[in-house]
């Protein structure tokens, strides 16, 4: 079934700039086969055989060749969008691609052919049931993947690994709901539903399976988003040296002069495939220098947004009163790693010492290292992975987004409430059923079975044009 309001659309599907090959893609929408064949005739001078590559000229209105390349025709519903699709693969010069694009718009004017909006091809694939919403998002994630691990995980999501796990969860919730609803519909039956149907066991199995999926999704979210790691501390404790050691390159200027770093320096590195956005900041101290004060204010802004704070100290001095004041200003709920740098100037070698957590949210540990000598850097990398929750030696089955995690946690909460109502037996059976329904809706929102139009607009607006 074609998506509503499906005008014929066209776009350049390859990245801007020069390249060996450029692709112009047309999806014919409700104009269907009539528009597809008219465009073939106008652009290629012939009718194309479905799903066969034809080497043809791309001609203008006067029959003059604009370019020569491969033309492909995919009849509905066996195409990316589920509509009749025409792809013209020519040379990747910006000018020639624009000429072919304008020729498409000219030839398709009688059918209302227009330029595609960002993500509109993939949105149509979703609306025409070629992809579910999680798979559609995986298309954009695959294009934007910044690491090999992220690309592999996005590919698995696109193949449907994440969606299959969600659908399996939904099927189990539906089966349990059917039992509950049947009992509510026939209250005169003298059957102890919770025991006879093993509702407790079924619900426990669903919750355990959801916990596993959420764990996999967290791993996938780390691969997609990475962690923002802020280097903070007093001037001249070695923040820039640590950035250089983590990155394996001289990115930041290192001098013995306090206050050398006036503004942030950001570098993205990889540890076990996880992107870490490491931010070197201005040293924290009282100063009359206006430029340095602005840099320090920006440092605190970055700390507020951080996923992890590396609090650098001079290993020779240990924790000073100034360091305590700085630590007291760190935002609550953000993991802090206390890094004692310059151990090469002390009698104590690199080590890790995990301290007692301040509360359930904050993790604090000490890592002793020498950024200048690159000693103990692997200890710090391992600690960052531990804080991130990364399981060494495993690879995420699929990539996930923040909205997926929110939906999974909400479903987890509803199932927890369902379990509480189940303990109260028949008096709360209707509440048990309602919590199961709400959990199912949260899970369905991930694959798009239950998703608002507003959310769809936000998701697909972030895609590149032509996809």
> Would you say 130 is a known binding-site residue?
yes
Alpha helices in 55-198 (DSSP H): 94-107, 120-127, 133-144, 148-159, 161-185, 193-196
> Would you say 240 is a known binding-site residue?
yes
**Cβ pair 137, 162 in contact under 8 A:** no
> Would you say 192 is a known binding-site residue?
no
**Cβ pair 429, 234 in contact under 8 A:** no
> Would you say 373 is a known binding-site residue?
no
Q: What is the CA radius of gyration of the chain?
A: 29
> Would you say 271 is a known binding-site residue?
no
SS3 label, residue 433: helix
Listed in sequence order, the residues at least 6 apart from 119 whose beta carbon sits closer than 8 Å to its beta carbon are: 140, 459, 460, 461, 462, 463, 464, 467
d(CA 75, CA 28): 10
> Would you say 259 is a known binding-site residue?
yes
> Would you say 174 is a known binding-site residue?
no
Rounded to a whole number of angstroms, the distance between the first and last alpha carbons of the chain is 20
> Would you say 237 is a known binding-site residue?
yes
d(CA 265, CA 243): 9
Q: Work out the number of other CB atoms within 10 angstroms of the CB of residue 406.
A: 13
> Would you say 358 is a known binding-site residue?
no
d(CA 376, CA 350): 5
Listed in sequence order, the residues at least 6 apart from 17 whose beta carbon sits closer than 8 Å to its beta carbon are: 92, 94
> Would you say 220 is a known binding-site residue?
no
> Would you say 418 is a known binding-site residue?
no
> Would you say 261 is a known binding-site residue?
yes
Query: Tokens 């055989």 belong to which residue?
Result: 49
> Would you say 282 is a known binding-site residue?
yes
Burial class (CB in 10 A: 0-12, 13-18, 19+), 293: middle
d(CA 125, CA 131): 6
SS3 label, residue 357: coil
**Cβ pair 231, 278 in contact under 8 A:** yes
> Would you say 416 is a known binding-site residue?
no
DSSP 139-168: HHHHHH--SHHHHHHHHHHHHTHHHHHHHH
> Would you say 14 is a known binding-site residue?
no
> Would you say 25 is a known binding-site residue?
yes
> Would you say 241 is a known binding-site residue?
yes
SS3 label, residue 108: coil
**Cβ pair 342, 348 in contact under 8 A:** no
Q: Which residues are annotated as a binding site for K(+)?
A: 236, 255, 257, 260
Q: Which residues are annotated as a binding site for GTP?
A: 236-241, 255-261, 280-283
Q: Which residues are annotated as a binding site for Mg(2+)?
A: 240, 261
Q: Which residues are annotated as a binding site for (6S)-5-formyl-5,6,7,8-tetrahydrofolate?
A: 25, 87, 130, 467
Q: Which residues are annotated as a binding site?
A: 25, 87, 130, 236-241, 255-261, 280-283, 467
């Amino acid at each position: 079934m074609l998506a509503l309001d499906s005008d014929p659309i066209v776009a350049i599907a390859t990245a801007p700039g020069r390249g060996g090959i450029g692709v112009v893609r047309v999806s014919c929408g409700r104009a269907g086969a009539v528009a597809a064949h008219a465009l073939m005739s106008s652009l290629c001078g012939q009718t194309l055989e479905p799903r066969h590559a034809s080497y043809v000229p791309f001609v203008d209105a006067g029959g003059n060749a604009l370019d020569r390349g491969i033309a492909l025709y995919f009849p509905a519903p066996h195409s990316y969008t589920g509509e009749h699709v025409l792809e013209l693969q020519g040379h990747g010069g910006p000018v020639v691609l624009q000429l072919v694009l304008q020729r498409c718009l000219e030839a398709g004017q009688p059918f209302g052919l227009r330029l595609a909006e960002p993500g509109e091809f993939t949105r149509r694939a979703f609306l025409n049931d070629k992809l579910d919403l999680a798979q559609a998002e995986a298309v954009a994630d695959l294009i934007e993947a910044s690491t090999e691990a992220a690309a592999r995980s996005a590919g698995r999501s696109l193949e449907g690994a994440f969606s299959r796990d969600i659908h399996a969860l939904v099927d189990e919730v539906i089966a349990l709901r059917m039992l509950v609803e049947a009992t509510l519909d026939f209250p005169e039956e003298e059957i102890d539903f919770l025991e006879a149907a093993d509702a407790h066991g079924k619900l426990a199995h669903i919750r355990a399976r959801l916990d596993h999926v959420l764990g996999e999704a967290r791993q996938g979210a780390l691969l997609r988003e990475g962690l923002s790691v802020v280097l903070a501390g007093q001037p001249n404790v070695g923040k820039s040296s640590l950035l250089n050691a983590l990155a394996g390159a001289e990115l930041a200027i290192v001098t013995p002069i306090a206050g050398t770093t006036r503004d942030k320096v950001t570098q993205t590195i990889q540890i076990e495939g996880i992107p870490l956005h490491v931010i070197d900041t201005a040293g924290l101290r009282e100063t009359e220098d206006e430029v340095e004060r602005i840099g320090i204010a920006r440092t605190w802004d970055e700390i507020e947004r951080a996923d992890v704070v590396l609090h650098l100290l001079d290993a020779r001095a240990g924790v000073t009163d100034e360091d305590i004041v700085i630590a007291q200003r760190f935002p609550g709920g953000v993991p802090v790693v206390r890094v004692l740098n310059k151990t090469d100037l002390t009698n104590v070698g690199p080590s890790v010492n995990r301290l007692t957590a301040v509360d359930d949210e904050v993790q604090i540990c000490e890592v002793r290292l020498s950024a200048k000598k690159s000693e103990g850097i692997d200890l710090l990398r391992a600690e960052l992975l531990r804080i991130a929750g990364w399981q060494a030696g495993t690879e995420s089955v699929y990539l996930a987004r923040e909205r997926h995690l929110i939906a999974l946690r909400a479903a987890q909460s509803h199932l927890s409430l369902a379990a509480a109502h189940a303990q109260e037996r028949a008096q709360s059976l209707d509440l048990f059923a309602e919590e199961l329904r709400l959990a199912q809706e949260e899970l369905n929102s991930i694959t798009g079975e239950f998703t608002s139009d507003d959310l769809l607009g936000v998701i697909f607006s972030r895609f590149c044009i032509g996809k």
